[in-house]
């Protein structure tokens, strides 16, 4: 299989994070959840941009799941994340969560679930530690002999294929 230079996996995850952004934006605009909808959002507490109290960070060192249902306030939605007020053991807390920190989003009222590939902090550190830099040579290298057409040969161009042959006949 060829190498994915477009990175469809990242594009798809960004698009699905857009679903969360839109849904939370609608809730922020109305101030309430429609119908029986409610959300479970799991995020990494140590991810860049996450802001939670030291008490919550100590209790949820790696990840945390919040429920957005009846009691929440000050929901603010931006392009990069959301901010929300929730109560934990009768203590009001303000949380700031970037979308890139979210590992899961679930709405049990309609059985809708999204999961994201977000490495834990230790995994990210291990990946970063394995990166090795090599010097880059800026010299131009001659093209390989097989890439240049021989004298007398024509250079092959890409061909155009009609898609009509593959369409279903009606």
Which residues, at least 6 apart from 36, have a Cβ–Cβ distance to it below 8 Å? 109
Q: What span, in angstroms and rounded, lies between the C-alpha atoms of 39 and 129?
A: 36
pTM of the predicted model, to two decimals?
A: 0.69
What does the pLDDT look like over 70-86, one tens digit per residue? 899 999 999 999 999 99
- The token pair at 153 is 């040969």
**Do the beta carbons of residue 64 and residue 52 sit within 8 Å?**
yes
Write down the pLDDT at residue 28: 96
SS (HEC) of the chain: CCCCCCCHHHHHHHHHHHHHHHHHHHHHHHCCCCCCCCEEEEEECCCCCCECCHHHHHHCCCEEEEEECCCCEEEEECCCEEEEEEEECCEEEEEEEEHHHEEEEEECCCCEEEECCCCCHHHHHHHHHCCCCCCCCCCCCCCCHHHCCCCCCCCCCCCCCCHHHHCCCC
Write down the pLDDT at residue 117: 87
Q: Of 146 and 29, which is predicted with more confidence?
A: 29
**Do the beta carbons of residue 20 and residue 86 sit within 8 Å?**
no
What does the pLDDT look like over 33-70, one tens digit per residue? 999 999 999 999 999 999 999 999 999 999 999 999 98
Domains defined along the chain, listed by start: 8-124 (2.30.30.220)
Highest mean pLDDT among 19-23, 126-130, 151-155: 19-23
């Amino acid at each position: 299989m060829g190498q994915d230079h477009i990175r469809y996996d990242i594009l798809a995850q960004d698009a699905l994070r857009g679903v969360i952004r839109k849904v939370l934006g609608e809730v922020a605009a109305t101030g309430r959840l429609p119908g029986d909808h409610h959300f479970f959002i799991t995020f990494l507490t140590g991810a860049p941009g996450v802001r939670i109290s030291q008490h919550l960070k100590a209790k949820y060192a790696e990840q945390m799941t919040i429920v957005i249902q009846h009691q929440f306030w000050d929901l603010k939605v931006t392009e990069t994340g959301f901010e929300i007020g929730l109560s934990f053991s009768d203590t009001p807390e303000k949380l700031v969560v970037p979308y890139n920190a979210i590992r899961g989003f679930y709405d049990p009222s309609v059985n809708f679930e999204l999961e994201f590939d977000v490495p834990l902090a230790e995994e990210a550190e291990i990946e970063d530690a394995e990166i090795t830099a090599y010097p880059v040579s800026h010299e131009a290298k001659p093209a390989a002999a097989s890439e240049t057409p021989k004298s007398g040969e024509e250079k092959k161009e890409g061909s155009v294929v009609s898609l009509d042959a593959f369409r279903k006949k009606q």
